[in-house]
Each structure stands twice: as C-alpha cells, then as structure tokens.
Structure 1
Amino acid sequence: MSKSIFFVVFILLYLSCNDQVRDSRQAKTNLIELQQKSTKNKDSAYYFLKKGVELIKHFPELSDSLKAENNFALGAYFYGKGIMDSAAHYSHKATDFSGDSLQYDREIDYFYQSWYVYYSQGKYGDCISIVNKLESLLDDKDYNNQVFVNYLFENTYKANEDFKQAIFYNKKQIKAYSNIPNTMPSVREAIIFQSEYEYQLKNKNRAFKLLDSLLNIENRLNETTKYNLYNRYGIQTFDENKFKTSLDFFIKSLYHLKKVSKNRTSADQKARLYYNISEAYFALKKYNKAYTYLDSAFYLNSKNDNETVLRSILQKQLELAVVTDKDPTKLSNSLDSIFNYQKDQYTKKYKEDLVALEKALKKENEILAEKKDIEIKSIKRLFTLVIIVSILIILSIFFYRQRMYKVKKQSLQMQQRLLRSQMNPHFTFNTLYTIQNLIKDTPLKAKNYLIKFSRLLRLILENSTQNYVLFKDELKALKEYYALQQVRFPDKFNFYIQLNNLEEDSFIFIPPMLIQPMIENSIEHGFNGINYKGKLVLTLTQKKSFLECKIEDNGRGLQSKNLEIKKSTSLELIHDYLKKSTGKGIQITDKNTLNTNETGVIVSFKIPFKLTKND
C-alpha cells in the first residue's frame, strides 16, 4: 500500500515538473514573439513590451539575455517618444544583466544605448559610470571594443569641455587602433580631433603641428579625411583672424566633401561647411558671396532641421542685412524670417509643454487613485496583518509624498515654460512693431535700434528653452533692453540697478523674463505723457531662499483706485507662477497713497533662485 502511494506521488511530481518545463519553454517562445512584434509594429510596441514585462514577472527563470533585450527595447521606445527619464531607466536596467565579462556582442548595444541616453540628457557623470562598467568587462585582447570604449570616454569629456581628458582617451584610442590591421584612416581622423582639443587648450603650435603632419602625407589620405582636415584648418585659422587662408581651406574642404559618395555625406555636414564659408566671406567684406553660401546653407539645413545651425544662419542673415542693406525691405524680410522662426519654435514648444502638463496632471490623478486603492486594501487586511499593514501605510505615504512633490515640481516647470512661451513673442511683437515704424520715419535710427535689438535677440534665443539662467545673464539682458529703449526714447528716463547682499556676478540661477515685462510696463504706461524726466529704479535684495525685487518709478501712477493685477495673460501667468513658487504674487502700490506729493508706482515680488542649474 505504502509503495503504491509513493509511486503515485512520484508520478504526480514528475508530471508537475514536466508541465513547468513546458510552460517555461512556451513563455520563452512567447516573449521572443512579443519582442519581434514590437519591432514590426511601432504603434503597438509599448503594448507588446509591457506584455513581455508581465511574462518575465510570472517566469523569473527566463534567461537574462531575454530580460535584457526587453528592457533595451523599452529604453529605445521611450527615447523615441522623448520620455528621457524612462528611457534612461530601462536602458541602464538592460546593462544590469551583464556578468563579469561580455557573453555576446549584443551587450555592447545595451551599453551604448544607455550611454547615449545619458549623453543626450547632459548627465556626463552617468555616462562615465556606464562606460567604466563596460570597460571592466572587456578582455585585454579585445582591441575593437577598447577602441569603442575610449571613443565613448573621449566624446563624454569633450562634451563636458574637459579637453585634457579627451586627449588622454583619444591617445588610448589610437594605441588600440595600432593593434588592429587596416585602421590607419581611423587613426588619422583621431589625430584631427586631437588637434581640436589642443587648440581648445590654447596649445596652438601643437594643434597646427598635428594638422601639418597629416598635410605632409596628403596623397595618402582618403576624401573624408581630407574634408575633415581642411575644415579643421579653416576653423582654426579663422579663429586666428587669417580669413583669406581660412576661406581657402574651407573651399578645399568643400571640394573633397563633394567627392565623398552621397550616401556618406549628410546635408548637415554641407550646411555647416557652407555656413563656415559664408562667415569667411563676411569677415573679408565680400557680402554678395556671403549671401550666396548662406542661402545654400539655409536650403540644406531645411532638409534635416538642425535648430543650432538654423539659429546661426538666421543670426548671420540679420548681421548681413544690417551691414549691407540700405533698402528697408530686405531688413524687414530678414526680421520676418527670424520672427517666423521664433514663432514656430514657441508654437512647437508651447504645444509640447501643454501635452507634458496634461500628462503630469493625469499622472497626479493616477497617483491619487493608486493611494486610495492602497488604503482600501490596507483596511481589508487590518485585522490579520496590523503591524505589517501599518508599516506599508507609512511607506506608501512617504513614497506618495515624494512622487507628489516630483509631479508638482514638474507641473510648476511646465507652467513656467508656458509663461515664457506667452511672454517672449509678446516682447518680440512690440519690438518689431517699433522697428517697422522707425524704418519708415528715421532709417538711421532704425539701424542703430536694429543692432541693439539683434544683441538682445541673441540672449532671448539662447535663454528661450531654459528654466533657469545665470543671474548675470538676466542682468545683461535687462541692460541690453534699457539700451534698446534709450534709442527709442532718448533722454526720456534714467534706469538704475541697486543690488543688496549680492554682486552682479553672483553664481545663482533665476527664471528668465520675469523682471523685463514689469520694466516695460513702467516705460510704456508709467512714463507715457509726462513732461519731466522719468526715473526707474530696480532694487534686488538676496534673502535666504529668494530675491526680493522692487521696481519703483516716478511716472504718472495708477489711473484708478484698483491696485489688483490687470487681467492680461502675461501678468496673470507671472502672478500665478510667483504665488506657487514663492507663496506671494505681485504687489502693486501707488506712491500717491503713501505721499500725496509723489507720483509713480512701486511693484514688488519675490523671485526664486537656485545655487546650481540642476538643483
């Protein structure tokens, strides 16, 4: 009897184990199919990959390679959607499955994607960490991947402007190349980059000697290397103010670039080179030639829409218009191009930020629903798991508050970006309208106004997508704005800046475009119609966690007794943003209510500041 029972139990255990093996094999097949479907159907990729995540949870015995591949695919998906935090999380997670050494070539892709996502975010410390981990897995004789690792190190330090370290890893890369046959073209390309770093470190003789060493063997260089060599010569000689020599090098670079096969030549490379040539012609005062190459650069850049190149092209077009155009029509056309570009950028940014804000609000609601669900489940288990449930509730509340704080912070940043997307076009519209009137009435005055406006516009374009900018940069923009208004209203008013408990070069960061609209309001409305010289004083005092800002004028004051914020979009946005970030909005005081012998207005508010840009 006992033998029969033992036999039955043995059979049941055997069948159970057999079922588990079959289930695991089927799970592996299903996971591979889901990953393949995600690559073929991009619209449903996230659905298939999340199914893969659920499958991995149910079958933890699945191989690490399949788990890594699923995380890698999720990282690529989120990167494509621009959701960088999630892209970084899953890409890094894919590298966690690597052991003490590389088992298969695909692992290199995991590390590269993780590095690239961090690189795109400007998180260079994380880049170094991920490359250090990859380097520790390499075999001493794996020269190809050693080249790749040193390439990643070099580009990370280059982006971080640590050119000494960039040179160090550039040389290690060249040393690794020496162990690989037929890599001399790559070595020569690396020497060109080394020259760039030496030049950045002010080792100019060393930089040019490196280039000269390649020029001496020009007949052995391929077309791509010749293009890069002459382009680097052109850039460095241009910086040395040798404009004619620089132009000759750029023309040679273009000649060799055109000889490179089309499938290896990008429109971006040509656009940048055409722009360099136009700069050289501009420096030589050959403005017609500069126009021709600048137009070609604009056309080529329109194919791949590189914002950095486009911004430089538009700025150079404006400089050319200021220097050469006596006809106000061309000046207006150049301004229209810049205006349309800025309008498109702000419209695009406004829509993106609006979508991001909606997602943040949706995420906040999901967190609230999640919290309620946790509380309901906790009540059901209260009688049997009192101690455990209490601990879970405390942890849940803690993490909930942390997540809510992060969501609210993201929401506030979205509102801040929306504020700037309203304010920058408003300021630009007013200025362009003024320039249009001046061009008709006083062209010479319009030209001076236009030069000052171009300097201010450069600052606005550079700061337009930043949440926080250096304090000194914001003061510089205010001073440029004052200089602009002085051309428009000569001897109309004086402007003074008083700083308390801080210096002009204090290393703090503040949100841009908060002070300028208030200054503009005093000039446009406070000094309108007065028959005496105006006085405008900006006082900034540093407190523990904010800057106390006071703007005082001696204008005509408020025309009504209502001291509340006017119902304009820009002022309402500033008021709401300041109230949420500092707890206090804009305060407006009519000086006449304090002293009947005085006129004017006092505007006061608090400005948040940070000690680091990413604080």
Structure 2
Amino acid sequence: MFSQSEKINQHYVDTLLIEPIDSLQVSNFKNILLSNDELKGWTKYYAHKSFLCLKQSKRDSALFYSEKTIDVYNSDEAGYTYAERSLQRAYYVGGWIHKRRKNYNESLNFFLKSLDIHRKYPDHYKIEVYILTSIAEIHLAMGNPELSLRYQKQIEKDSLYKISYQAANLFNQIGILYGYLDKRDSSKIYLHKSLKYESDRSGLAAYTNLGELFYKEEQMDSAIHYFSIAKRISDTIDISSLRADSKVFAQTNYHFVDIYNNKHDKETINVLTRIVDSVTSLKKVDKEDRDFVLNVLDYLILAYEKERRFKKVKESYKKKFDVVTLFNQELFKEDLQKIEVGYKTKLKEEQISNLEQLNNSQKQKLDQQKITAIVSICSLFLGVLLIIVLYKRKTLKDKYEKVNLEQRLLLSQMNPHFTYNALNSVYNLLDVNSKKAKTYLLSFSKLLRSVLENSRKDFISLEEEIETLDNYLVLKSKLMAKFEYVINCELTIADIFIPPMLIQPFVENAIIHGISALKESGKIEITFSVSEDNSQILKCIIVDNGVGYANAIHKKSKNKPSISSDIVNDRLKIYGDKFKVNANFQIVDLKENGVVSGTKVILETPIIKE
C-alpha cells in the first residue's frame, strides 16, 4: 500500500486509497496514523474497519466500528472534509446491519445520513443506487409502499442503472409496489419489463409476482399458468444462485395449484403449516413476512374448505387475524418510539438553549464593562430588547413544535385503540360467516391504510376525513346489525384542513354503545358546518337514535372505561391553546316525551386553510 520512502503527511493520508479492503491494508493504514500523533484520519480508519467486518460477516463488530467512526468524527475530526467523506461508509454499514435486524427507524436514519454525505461528495453512482434501494426496502417493510415507490422511481431515472443486470430486479420491485397500491395495470407492465432480461433469477421473481397478482384478481387460470412457470424455473436452478426465499415463494405458490386442482395431500398441508409456524414465531414481522404468510393461510383455508374441515378454516382465519394484529402493533411501536424520542429530544434542546442564553447574557455583561458608560447603557438596552424579541419568537416556535409532538404522541395512542376494535369486529364475524370475513378483512386493510396515512399527518383535508368516515361506516354497517347513516356537508371540503382522527371515536361510540343495543334499525347522521360564532371553527354534529349517553356510561362503568374520549379531550385542549380558539365537545341525550331517544355530539375544532 505504501513504501517507507514515501513522505507521510496529511495530504498523503487523505488521498490514500485503502484498496482492496482487507485486514492487511486496514492494519497498514492504522500504523501510518500511529506513526504521527498530528495526523488526522481515524474517522477514515474506523469507517474502513466497519466495512471490513461487514465483509467478514462480523455484524456486531461492524456495527461497533460504525458507531465508533461517528463518535471519533464528532469528538476529534468534526468539520474536516476528508473525515466527513468517510462517514458515508460508516452510516451505510450501520444502516445495513440495523435493516437486517429489522430495527427500521435506526436503519432509515443511518441510510438517510449516508445519502446526504454521498450527495455532498459523490464518488460513484452505484453507491447512491444501493442506498436508495435500501431506503425503499425499509419503507416497504414498514408498510409504506408509496414512499418505497418514490425511492425506486428515483433509481429508475438513472440511465446507467437501467441498462445494467440489476434493472430486472428494479422493474420487478416497482411492479410489486404498484400491486400493493392496487395499480394493477402498471404492476403488470413493470413485471413484464422485468421479463425482458434473460435471467432465471429475474424470471422466477417476475413469474411468481404475476401469478400472485392474478390470484388476487381471482383469475385462477392465469395465476396457475404463471405459478407453474415459476415452479419449473425453480426446479432447474441451484438454490445457492439466488435468494432462498425466491425458491420458497415459487414452491409454496405451486402448492396452491395442487390444492385448486384437488391434487394436494396431507404432506402439502403439513408443509404449508410449517411455513406459517416459522413466520408467526418471528419476534418481528415486516410487510413481506405478513403478505407471504397471509397468502399461505389463504391456500390452507382453500384446502380445509375442500376437505370440509371447518374448524381448521376458523383456526386459519384466527391466525390471519393474529398476523395482521402483530404487524400493526410493530408499526405503532415504531411510530410511538420515534415520536417519544423526538419529544424528549425537544425538551433537552429547550434546556440546552436556556443555558446557552444564560451564558451569552453573562458574557455580554462582562464585555460591556470594557466600554464607556454611555455606550454600555445603550448596548445593554438594545441587547436586552433584542434578546426579549428573539426569546419571544423562539418561545412561540418551540411551543408550537412541542404542542405538535404532544398531539402526535396522543394520536399514536389512539391508533391501537381504533385498530383493536375494528379487527375484533372482523374476528367475531368468523363464527357467523367465514366467507364474508375474508371480504371484510380486505376492506378493513384498505381502511387501515388510510388511517395509518392520515395519522402520520398533522392535518388532513376535510375531504379525506369524510372519505375515511364513509369507509368506516360502510364496513361497520356490514359487520354489525344493519344501520343507516348520512353525512351532510355543503362546505368546500378540499380547502379545509383539520386534525385527523378526532371525529371517528365519537362515531364509534355511537355505534358500539348507542345503536348496537337497539332491536330496530339504527340511524346515524353527521353534519359539518362552520360555527356561527367563529368562522375559524368547524362544527361537527353527530346524532344517533341509540340508548343514550347516560345509559352507555352506566353500562361502561361495569366494565373498563373507554380511553378514546380522554385522548380526544387532551388533543382538543392542545389545539385550542395552539390556535387560540375554544376547541371542545359536548355530549347530550336527546329525549322525546321524556324518554331518551338518542345522543347528540357537538364537536368544535379549529379550521386550517390551505
């Protein structure tokens, strides 16, 4: 790598290429640094050390040296260009290891920092492609196909990448993502693009995904056609030449062909059952795990239905319920941890900022003693005035950000509550009509996607809120005793923005604690209008013909109390303080001839104009 005759100086260390990255080259570079205490380069050394450990499959050591690189840079070499360039490699290694361990928030953070540094000091286009691919995979694993597609489309713009052997995998991934987003025509286009590259590996993946796409569309002849091609390919290639799961997917999907044609046997069911058990035993389930095991469970349900083993059919539906629940719990846990960390970080930043202001104020007073009295007085007056103005501005900004974090934290607490109630309704239907349960489980997954998307936003349009409410009411009216509902709104709903998930808990209470107890058909009416007292307040009135609020409260007191009203109340208080309006809700019993005839909820929340 170097000779003793060469002069070892900082420029030599900065421009030295450690190639190939092996134990000898990395060790030699370390000896160079040890030869002179004034040399900078330890960030570079530890970054290459982390990458070397990754190549050697020493993942714990690789992560250790990745974090060591970041610590050394921050403590000794911060701001030094050549040191900062080396951080890109360390962040990439850390991101890769966290991704393998399914620590998705940490992995995403590492990869985004690696991408920022690379774009500041671009070396080779392939590095950016690898980073973007990893970020896309993380978003998909966390259940965000839209974000995943956005990053894959960035890769597609790279003309050099599109002509490489990896283009087949890119088009295959984009096809899968369009399938997740129910854009099936686009999905088929990209999967067929992938097939243009003559490769057993890309062909196996594309044919498998095309088969799954037609299976979801219930076009069984086409599904069987593509599953059969994928099976033939998987039988002809060695598993060591491709990802093991690619062959597993192909073999598993072909079991559906046998089941559909009544050619399955006991061993087929045993194989599928072992696959389900192996996935559901994982401590953490990502989106790919979830979708794969749901497909396998569908195949088992079909087999059990053909054998008229209805107890097994119900057990399989219960497993589907458990898999979806586990996946959503992991998503909520990730979001909640992220928000809590952000909230605590914000509080620490406020404390540090206050200490810095105090130190600056003391320093300013010492400096002022060195100048004349008149200038000193004027400077002090102007300085204090400026500090007051800046402090007020900063206080307002910090208060807004703090309130924003608080409301997102409360909203994350509400999501599991909503999900549990909705999934429980689907599960209860299994005893009544297992065929309908499959349809409603699919409908619920679409509703859940919109709820998850909205919950990540500070504000959503009234149009989005009404659409989500409508989907929720359609689903509930089919799952429970029939009821009618109507949503009235004459406002320009696309231009009005409100906090998400404020109205749904009251609608849910109207159904569960109001009209579900009725023998006759229930009715719910939701009306949106602008408050007559304040044009900045949206008024939402929810009326049902149920048993009444007082009766519902009496029933609930015998069991455990609901938390949704408390959370909504806390969120409204936060929004009221933020926008200086009276955000609140009232619940009153309706009466006819002295007899309770239903409940009215009057909810007032701030309007945010686009």
Report which stretch shifted further, 343-352 or 329-338: 343-352
Equivalent in the alignment of 1:522 = 510
Counterparts of 1:464-543 in structure 2, within 5 Å, are: 465-466=452-453, 467=455, 470-471=464-465, 472-485=467-480, 489-490=481-482, 493-502=483-492, 514-527=502-515, 533-541=521-529
Contact 1:435 1:450 in 2 (8 A): yes
Secondary structure of 2:364's counterpart equals coil
| Deviation readout 1:459-498 (Å, 9 max, x if unpaired) | 354346431584424422221211222xxx35xx433332
Structure 1 pair 203/362, CA: closer, same or farther in 2 (3 Å)? closer
Read off the aligned partner of 2:565 and give its amino acid letter: L
Contact 1:382 1:389 in 2 (8 A): no
Partner of 1:263: 240
The one of 445, 455, 463 aligned to 1:458: 445
Task: Tell me by how many angstroms 1:534 deviates.
Answer: 3.7
Q: Quick check: 1:591–1:600 contact (8 Å CA) kept in 2?
A: yes
Q: Letter of the 1:559 partner, please give it.
A: A
Q: 1:262 to 1:34 in 2, by over 3 A?
A: same
**Residue type of the alignment partner of 1:224:** R
Q: 433, 438, 445: which is aligned to 1:446? A: 433
Residue identity in the other structure for 1:329: K
* Alignment size in residue pairs: 517
Which letter does structure 1 place at the counterpart of 2:294? L
- Number of the residue aligned with 1:435: 429
Matched, 1:570 2:561: no
Query: What's the % identity of the aligned pairs?
Result: 14
Provide closer, same or farther for how the CA distance between residues 399 and 31 of structure 1 changes in structure 2, counting only shifts above 3 A: farther
- What SS does the aligned partner of 2:548 have? coil
> Does structure 2 conserve the Cα–Cα contact (< 8 Å) formed by 1:195 and 1:207?
yes
From the superposition, tell whether residues 113 and 91 of structure 1 become closer, same or farther in structure 2 (CA, over 3 Å). farther
Structure 1: segments with no counterpart, 5+ residues: 1-20, 124-154, 178-184, 215-220, 440-444
1:604 alignment counterpart: 602
* Gap change, CA 1:380 and 1:114, over 3 Å in 2: farther
SS in 2 for 1:559: helix
For 2:363 and 2:589, the matched residues in 1 are separated by 62
Does the CA contact (< 8 Å) of 1:243 and 1:280 recur in 2?
Answer: no
Which residue of 360, 365, 368 maps to 1:378?
A: 360
1-structure distance, mates of 2:385, 2:469 = 50
8 Å contact kept, 2:115–2:128: yes
- Equivalent position amino acid for 2:347 in 1: N
Secondary structure at the residue paired with 2:543?
A: strand
The structural deviation recorded for 1:298 is 3.8
Q: Compared with structure 1, are the counterparts of its residues 459 and 68 closer, same or farther at alpha carbon in structure 2 (3 Å cutoff)?
A: same
Q: State how far apart, in whole Å, the 1-side matches of 2:473 and 2:566 are.
A: 21
Question: Structure 2: how far apart are the matches of 1:601 and 1:256?
Answer: 63
Distance (Å, rounded) in 2 between the aligned partners of 1:294 and 1:38:
40
Query: Which SS does the other structure have where 1:568 is aligned?
Result: coil
Change (3 A) 1:507 1:603: same
Structure 1 contact 519–551 (Cα < 8 Å) conserved: yes
Task: Give 2:84's aligned residue.
Answer: 67
Distance 2:234 2:313 in 1: 33
Paired residue type of 1:360: G
Q: Within 1, Cα distance between the matches of 2:497 and 2:254?
A: 37
Residue 49 (structure 1) aligned with residue 70 (structure 2): yes
For the 8 Å contact 1:557–1:599, the answer to whether it is kept is: yes
Partner of 2:374: none
Residues 1:324 and 2:324 are matched in the alignment: no
* 2:589 is the counterpart of 1:590: yes
Equivalent position of 1:442 in the other structure: none
Counterpart CA distance in 2 for 1:85 and 1:332 is: 38
Aligned AA for 1:550? I
How far off its partner does 1:329 sit? 1.9
The answer as to whether partners of 1:166 and 1:197 remain within 8 angstroms in 2 is no
The answer to whether the Cα contact below 8 Å between 2:195 and 2:206 also exists between their aligned partners in 1 is no
Contact 2:314 2:434 in 1 (8 A): no
State the Cα distance separating 1:388 from its structure 2 match: 7.1
Note closer, same or farther for the CA distance 1:229–1:418 as it changes in structure 2 (3 Å cut): closer
Aligned to 2:410: 415
Q: Which whole-Å CA distance do the structure 2 matches of 1:562 and 1:197 have between them? A: 45
- Paired with 1:404 and 1:480, the residues of 2 have a C-alpha distance of 39
Deviations 1:416-467 (CA, angstroms, capped at 9, x unpaired): 11211133213433553x436xx3xxxxx53465355424432354346431
CA gap 1:111/1:361 in 2 versus in 1, 3 angstroms? same
Q: What one-letter code is carried by the residue in structure 2 that aligns with 1:556?
A: V
Residue of structure 1 in register with 2:543 after alignment: 552
- Alpha-carbon distance between aligned partners in 2 of 1:116 and 1:161, rounded to the nearest angstrom: 7
Amino acid at match of 1:539: T
Instruction: Report the Cα distance in structure 2 between the residues aligned to 1:159 and 1:355, rounded to whole angstroms.
Output: 25
Q: 1:121 to 1:498 in 2, by over 3 A?
A: farther
Could you say what the CA RMSD is over the residues aligned between the two structures, in angstroms?
5.3
Q: Which one of the candidate residues 393, 402, 405 is aligned to 2:400?
A: 405
Q: Distance in 1 between matches of 2:309 and 2:245?
A: 32
Is the 1:68–1:94 contact (alpha carbons within 8 Å) kept by the matching residues of 2? Answer: yes
Amino acid at match of 2:407: L
Correspondence 1:130-279 to 2 at 5 A: 159-160=149-150, 223-228=200-205, 230-231=207-208, 234=211, 243-244=220-221, 246-274=223-251, 276-277=253-254
Q: Deviations over 1:32-77 (max 9, x none)?
A: 45546766363575465233223224xx6x5x33221125524654
8 Å Cα contact 1:75-1:86 kept in structure 2: no
On the 8 A contact 1:275/1:294 being kept in 2, the answer is: yes
Q: In structure 1, what is the Cα distance between the partners aligned to 2:562 and 2:126?
A: 52
Distance in 2 (alpha carbons) for counterparts of 1:206 and 1:425? 37
SS of corresponding position for 1:454: helix
Q: Secondary structure of the equivalent of 1:381? A: helix
- Check conservation: 2:208, 2:227, Cα contact below 8 A: yes
TM-score, normalised via structure 1 length? 0.65
Q: Residue type matched to 1:42 in 2?
A: L
Whether the 8 Å contact between 1:510 and 1:607 is mirrored in structure 2 is yes
CA apart distance, 1:231: 4.2
Q: Deviations over 1:195-251 (max 9, x none)?
A: 99999896999999979977xxxxxx5533553564477568779976435424322
Q: TM-score, structure 2 length as denominator?
A: 0.66
Aligned to 1:95: 118
Aligned to 1:144: none
- Greater shift in the superposed pair: 468-477 or 414-423: 468-477
- Give distance in 2, aligned partners of 1:208 and 1:568: 47
CA contact (8 A) 1:537 1:551 kept: yes
Pair 1:314-2:314 in alignment = no
Amino acid at match of 2:408: Q
- Counterpart AA for 1:376: L
The residue identity in structure 1 corresponding to 2:297 is Q
